[in-house]
Structure 1
Amino acid sequence: MKGNAIGSGFALTDHFGKSVTEADYKGQFALIFFGFTHCKLVCPRALTRISEALDLLGDQAANIKPLYVTVDPERDTPDVMRNFLETPWPRFTGLTGKREAIDQVRAAFKVFATKVADPSDPEGYDMPHTALTYLMDARFQYLAHYPDTMDAARLAQELCRETAQSRKGLK
């Protein structure tokens, strides 16, 4: 699945309200997780695990930009994304946009997400979704993906290995 098999261009809005495309992240590695701010368990756990892995990388993490792409743009406005991320996960940039733009980027990354009824949620729904973390190289080309079950230490090892190989031009 190397090359363009996963991922492609996008035009979204970051959590500061600025329009961004994949070109804004070229020149560094991008670590992408899809989720939503009303997520009760999977997303907070994943964002924490990714943050811990980046902490373990130390200075090597400076060239890796973590991105959190919503699957629920109707609720996840830039302000909502910023408030959700800024204290517990400040490394992340939240990305949102119109439903059509989110659906296009989800399709490019082969991410499943669907709205299901949830009477315990104030808006009445939940958004089960794919829980993979994607690594893109400095040209925003797919390098690898990692399951949600991978712990922070192993994720840090894999990120170190993949980014080092990519820098050497082995991929």
Structure 2
Amino acid sequence: MNNALKYDLQRLLARVQPQSLLLVGEGAYRLGAGYLSEHPDCAWTQAHDLEQLIAANAEQPYDLALVVDALEHTDKSEALAMLARLRDVLSRQVIVVVPVGETVPGSASSWVAEDLIAMGMYRAGVYEEERRTLHVYCFDLYDYKPTPDWLNARYWAHPELFDKYWW
């Protein structure tokens, strides 16, 4: 893996400081090992495929899921289901490292940026390797959609005022 990618992922992990970490894919442990060695109190689980991910049902969602070398080796419909499960059920934040816009030899699926943006993710970086270009996409449940200013009690009906005012 690219040294800049490793460094930036370490910075992302240090910023998030997860207390629980779900590692998905062959390369996820290699990239998360530095954080895990510095934080031995961090609970972590590793899943290599969709079946192991389904078996990784946790009582509480993981603070962070790191997905590396998994999506491109999985059928696209299964990979989208895996991402949706990570985003909706298993984790509060998701970091995905995937080659985008190209077919990698030996891969089961090809990805475009719109696939990941449609899942509510944003691109955090692009990294060149010898044979491919890796993109890092992130999803954070808490900054996914800011609360609009109109979403407050001032703009909604108040039953206690029904007989006093006509709108």
Shorter-chain TM-score tier: 0.3 to 0.5
TM-score, with length taken from structure 2: 0.33
Specify which structure has the bigger relative contact order, considering alpha-carbon pairs within 8 angstroms and separated by 6 or more residues.
1
Based on CA coordinates, which of the two structures has the bigger radius of gyration?
Answer: 2
